[in-house]
């Protein structure tokens, strides 16, 4: 019965947007005056565009940053944006950020967990946790739990977790999340963290909807012109089809190879669209809810040339499994030594 419910919710709603739509397109007509948003990673890549568009619509935008100077330079001149110190790999800094925010007593209407790393060499945080899982999922999990009272206070808050088409690379391997007993594969580690982002949204939505908190996971598209590619050699990016032979980004929104402006669209749409009132716990792409697909033949491959033009690539069942979403939440609580 639970599986049927998942698949009923996880279906397109015909938003009228597509891969070429930009963040400015999807927020047109939305007034965020009096609203507060927090955007992690809001000073790099699609995060910068997300911060800018939300602020332009009237929101007060807070950007937590590990590198405050870099953030200040990236966001210079954008009214309505403030920067605070925080490092997703440092639990103490996450706690300090959330305590400071809660002390102000204000509601939090939008939380966009946009920061992330991809396919880096094996590194671990101070607790020994694998860095992609720690940064992309666990740090955001701790941040969200810390901010939960403010989200509840908003009585209509939305959480957006930046996932990826890359959830295809791996489910969450609960028996060895931190690659202690299996060979480290940077793409499988990335895929595991992106699956975790979707499962997090599924369970956060279930837990929060009675208090008006709804959660969404998004695939922004493949945007090569960001810092996310820092660990991937240019030659490999050309081979993958992300860059052409001259080293220029391949832009083809029909295959979800996007500009920064297009890449920010789906997270902004999930955070603000009136079409999503009363909805949540779903994975979205191209500014619409995605269908479920059993397989598309691309699992385990990062060859973008395999992609065919499509309105939606879909989400695999392992990323929206309700039982795994509950299990991940419980495991994550133990990992951060918290309870909720």
Residues with a catalytic annotation lie at 190
CA distance 72 to 75: 5
What sign does the CA torsion over 147, 284, 332, 330 have?
positive
Give ∠ CA 204-32-257 in degrees, rounded to 5.
Answer: 65
Computed on alpha carbons and rounded to an integer, the radius of gyration of the chain in Å comes to 18
Tokens 């690539």 belong to which residue? 313
Q: Which residues contact 301 (CB under 8 A, 6 or more apart)?
A: none
CA distance 167 to 189: 10
Determine the longest span between alpha carbons in the chain, in angstroms.
Answer: 53
Strands 282-285 and 158-162: unpaired
The answer to whether 178 and 124 have CB atoms below 8 angstroms apart is yes
């Amino acid at each position: 019965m639970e599986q049927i419910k998942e698949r009923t919710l996880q279906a397109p709603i015909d938003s009228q947007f597509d891969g070429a739509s930009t963040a400015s397109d999807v927020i047109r007509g939305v007034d965020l005056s009096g609203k507060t948003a927090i955007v992690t990673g809001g000073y790099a890549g699609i995060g910068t565009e997300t911060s800018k568009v939300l602020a332009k619509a009237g929101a007060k935008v807070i950007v937590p940053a590990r590198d405050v100077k870099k953030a200040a330079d990236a966001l210079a001149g954008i009214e309505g944006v403030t920067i605070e110190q925080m490092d997703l790999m440092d639990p103490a800094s996450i706690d300090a950020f959330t305590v400071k925010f809660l002390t102000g007593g204000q509601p939090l209407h939008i939380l966009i967990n946009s920061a992330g790393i991809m396919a880096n060499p094996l590194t671990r945080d101070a607790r020994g946790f694998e860095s992609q899982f720690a940064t992309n999922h666990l740090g955001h999990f701790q941040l969200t739990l810390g901010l939960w009272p403010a989200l509840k206070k908003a009585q209509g808050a939305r959480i957006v977790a930046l996932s990826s088409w890359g959830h295809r690379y791996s489910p969450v391997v609960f028996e060895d999340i931190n690659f202690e007993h299996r060979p480290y594969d940077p793409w499988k580690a990335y895929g595991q963290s992106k699956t975790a982002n979707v499962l997090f949204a599924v369970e956060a939505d279930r837990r929060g909807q009675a208090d008006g908190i709804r959660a969404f996971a998004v695939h922004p598209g493949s945007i090569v012109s960001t810092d996310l590619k820092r660990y991937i050699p240019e030659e490999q990016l050309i081979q993958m089809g992300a860059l052409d032979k001259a080293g220029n980004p391949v832009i083809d929104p029909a295959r979800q190879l996007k500009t920064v402006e297009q890449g920010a669209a789906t997270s902004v749409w999930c955070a603000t669209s009136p079409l999503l009132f009363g909805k949540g716990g779903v994975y979205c792409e191209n500014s619409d809810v995605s269908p479920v697909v059993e397989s598309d033949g691309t699992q385990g491959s990062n060859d973008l040339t395999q992609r065919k033009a499509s309105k939606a690539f879909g989400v695999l069942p392992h990323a929206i499994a309700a039982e795994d979403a509950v299990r991940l939440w419980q495991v994550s609580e133990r990992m951060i030594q918290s309870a909720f």
